[in-house]
A and B are shown apart, each in its own frame.
Chain A
Amino acid sequence: MALVFATLPGESSASTPAAAVTEPAVAAAAPAHDLILCASINRSYVIGSKMVTFSGLYRRVADGSFEHFGPNLLYLSAVSLDPRDHRTIYLAMLNGALFSRDGGERFRIGTSWDMTEPKDIAVDPNAPDTVYLALPDGFAVSTDRGWTWARREKGLPDRGKYTQAIEIDRTRTGRLLIGCEAGVFLTENSGTRWRRVLPTRATVYDVRQSPTNPAWWIASTQRDGVHVSRDSGVTWSRIKDLTEDGAWYNVDFGTRHPDRVALSSWNQGIVVSEDGGRTWAPRNAGLPADGRVMRVGIDPDTDALYVNVRSDDVYRSEDFGRTWSETGLKGSTVSQFLFVKKPQP
Chain B
Amino acid sequence: MTMFSRRVCSRAGWFALGLLLCGSSVLRAQPSHVGPMPSALPVSSAEERRAAYEARIQEVLEWYTGLVKPSDPLIGDLVGVSARLALGRDLERCSRSVIELMKTPGSSPFWMFPTAGVAYLGRDKLSPEARAAIRRAWSSVMQLRGDTENHWAMYYASLYLMAQLYPNEPASSWYTGKSSEENLAEARDYLIHWMRLATTVGQGEFTCSHYIGEYAIPLTYLAAWAEDPAMRLRARMMLDWIFADQFANSLDGMLHGANARTDDTSVIERWNSLSSFFSWLLLGNTPPPAAYGGFGVYFAAVARHYDLPEVIYRIGVDRGGDFTQRDLKRSRRRWRGSDVEMAPIYKLNYSRRDYAVGSYQGGISDPIQAHVWDVTWAVPDPRGVHNTIFSMHPVSSMDDLQMYFAEFPEQMMRAVTTEGKASYDSPDKFLGASRYEQVVQDQDTVIALYNIAPGTRFPHINGFFSKDLVDLTEDESGWIFARGGNAFLAYRPLAPYELQRSFVYRSSWTGTKQDAGDRRLYSPHLKNGTIVQAASASEFPSFSAFQAAIRALPLTFSLEPVPTVSFTSLRGRKLEFTHGRVPVVNGRPVDYSAWKLFEGPYLNAERGSQKLTLTHGRLERVLDFNTLTITDRIKNP
Contact = CB atoms under 8 A, between A and B. Distances in A.
A224 to B, nearest CB: 14
B629 interface: no
B142 interface: yes
A96 B10 CA distance: 19
A119 interface: yes
A181 interface: yes
Contacts of A65: none
Contacts of A106: 172, 177
Given A113-B152, A116-B147, A48 B172 contact: no
Nearest to A119: B406
A121 interface: no
Interface string A41-74: 0101111111100010000000000000001111
B419 interface: yes
Contacts of A73: 142
Q: Interface size class for chain A?
A: 35 or more
Interface string B105-119: 011111100000000
Given A42-B1, A46-B12, A47-B9, A94 B144 contact: yes
Nearest to B4: A46
Contacts of B10: 47-48
Given A75-B6, A333-B1, 13 more contacts: A45-B2, A47-B12, A47-B109, A48-B10, A49-B12, A108-B176, A113-B156, A113-B190, A136-B406, A159-B336, A247-B408, A310-B1, A310-B411
B142 A47 contact: no
Given A48-B106, A113-B186, A117-B147, A98 B177 contact: yes
A160 interface: yes
Interface in B315-338: 335-338
A252 B62 CA distance: 61
A296 B409 CA distance: 19
Given A48-B108, A107-B177, A95 B145 contact: yes
Nearest to B17: A48
Contacts of A310: 1, 411
Interface string B86-123: 00000000000000000010111111000000000000
Interface string A91-132: 000111010000000111100110011010000000000000
Contact of A159 (B156, B338, B406): B338
A139 interface: no
7 contacts: A44-B419, A46-B6, A49-B13, A50-B104, A94-B144, A116-B145, A266-B408
B194 to A, nearest CB: 9
A244 B458 CA distance: 23
Contact of B189 (A71, A113, A266): A113
A209 interface: no
Contacts of B495: none
Contacts of A95: 142, 144-145
Nearest to A180: B336
A112 to B, nearest CB: 5
A100 to B, nearest CB: 8
Contact of A266 (B2, B145, B146, B410): B410
Interface residues of B, number: 53
A162 B336 contact: yes
A313 interface: no
A136 B335 contact: yes
B5 interface: yes
A109 B177 contact: yes
Interface string B389-418: 000000000000010001011110000001
Interface in A32-47: 40, 42, 44-47
B151 interface: yes
A122 B611 CA distance: 44
Contacts of A136: 335-336, 406
A137 interface: yes
A159 B339 contact: yes
B16 interface: yes
Nearest to B333: A137
B193 interface: yes
A249 interface: yes
Nearest to A108: B177
Contacts of B492: none
B407 to A, nearest CB: 8
The 4 closest A-B pairs by CB, nearest first: A108-B177, A48-B13, A48-B110, A136-B406
Nearest to B337: A181
A213 to B, nearest CB: 29
Contact of B410 (A42, A44, A247, A311): A247
A283 B442 CA distance: 60
A327 to B, nearest CB: 19
A203 interface: yes
Contact of A311 (B1, B9, B147, B335): B1
B253 interface: no
Contact of B2 (A75, A112, A116): A75
B406 A108 contact: no
A163 to B, nearest CB: 10
Contacts of A47: 5-7, 9-10, 12-13, 108-110, 144, 146, 151
